[in-house]
Structure 1
């Protein structure tokens, strides 16, 4: 019984101390939202959390050693923030730079691959942002936090239509009929189309199905085709440097 009480007291005291240390270190580094965390911030936070947990339950480790380690990781995070604020090259190395995923309506496949994205990941993120039709998007940018920023084309920028008395019609859903060179047979059937129609639409534009990374079709038969390996100029690729 005494051993149980001693162990419980040990854990309570260590947990309280580690919580206080984490609170103080968080105040030093400053508040940030989860979406603002860089990769280095994320790794540092996980490591400090593991050290705090180890400090709370491991009686073989002196209480001050995890505190020293957590303080060093906090100093590393603060130093990295200072470097990124003062040096462009340091920012590129430590946090990276935003990456264009869509440039002037064209999907940049090499930039998707660079960040382990595929076309389905991109479409999912765009739908979360409220963009179901790729042809409505002028630019999509992968931020260093992992979030995607979208700039729609001029005619599709948000407005409150009821304030300007413009009549509207409800848009239908868009079907992805080709993804990464593969035909989505079920989607094609749902849109009342067949393989012959698809072959004709693609070939009439001078393309081959295997070269298409994405083809969408809406209820009014509007088509948008994105090709694989579309290139942009070097100065445009480094737009955010």
Structure 2
């Protein structure tokens, strides 16, 4: 076999083996690495290069070395899952850097982090005043997580006493111009329902590159023709406006009648509609 062809074959074998071994090691090998995983990643890459280029050696010895490193890595991960002491020994511990707006200088020194580097990391979290920080911790991966003081945190719906509906994962029901039946089944809907939504938008399935249905049952689409603007469905705004008008009408009727029983009936109906509008508002205007 010519040398150039041998290099191609060996490289392709190394790529395939490395792919499956990386899949075996899991997602952490391609995201935030621990110390041991970092060492393993470097070594596996070097071994893969050795298998590809060192034509004077037996290439299967490199595959054996790869298998040994993967086995050691899997064994260390299993040990870390089972033992807290093993995690502390093989990986870095988390360290508190800021507490109650005060820098813990001793921990900063242990992590070999300067005050400038700490402030730069805080700015990455959109924090520019140290006094705004309640708590900051360096994780074992080296990232710094920040908890702002309560008065500096953004307001949430809970803080304002607003009830918001539970969100669910949007499901893709159209992809590449084709309807996906399984997501429709998960939503409890049919192709006929989807077709009705598309007709309201004046679209055909073939026009849609991607279509998603959210937790409220709203369909949003991205078209192949990017210059075409998709009209928004007005079903929910119209329903909200109708309920508000009905509530206002009941209140007007209660003010215009002199009959006590009718007045009380209209007032009760107005209150019930008002409660209904307030309950449905997050759904109809979300």
TM-score of the pair, normalised by structure 1:
0.62
Change (3 A) 1:132 1:33: farther
Tell me the SS of whatever aligns to 2:137: strand
Structure number with the bigger relative contact order (C-alpha 8 A, sep ≥ 6) is 1
Of residues 73, 79, 82 in structure 1, which corresponds to 2:75? 79
> Shift in Å at residue 104 of structure 1?
1.8
| Alignment map for 1:84-99 (pairs within 5 Å) | 84-99=80-95
Distance (Å, rounded) in 1 between the aligned partners of 2:144 and 2:122: 8
Structure 2: segments with no counterpart, 5+ residues: 161-286
Higher helix share: 2
- Structure number with bigger Rg: 2
Instruction: Give CA-to-partner distance per residue, 1:205-240, whole Å, 9 cap, x none.
Output: xxxxxxxxxxxxxxxxxxxxxxxxxxxxxxxxxxxx
> Shift in Å at residue 32 of structure 1?
2.5
8 Å CA contact retained: 2:40, 2:73:
yes
Distance (Å, rounded) in 2 between the aligned partners of 1:66 and 1:33: 20
Structure 1: segments with no counterpart, 5+ residues: 165-241
> Shift in Å at residue 33 of structure 1?
6.7
8 Å CA contact retained: 1:35, 1:145:
no
Of residues 152, 155, 162 in structure 1, which corresponds to 2:151? 155
Structural RMSD (CA): 1.9
Distance (Å, rounded) in 2 between the aligned partners of 1:159 and 1:62: 64
Tell me the SS of whatever aligns to 2:136: strand
Number of residue pairs aligned between Structure 1 and Structure 2: 159
> Shift in Å at residue 74 of structure 1?
1.1
Stretches of 4+ aligned residues off by more than 6 angstroms:
none
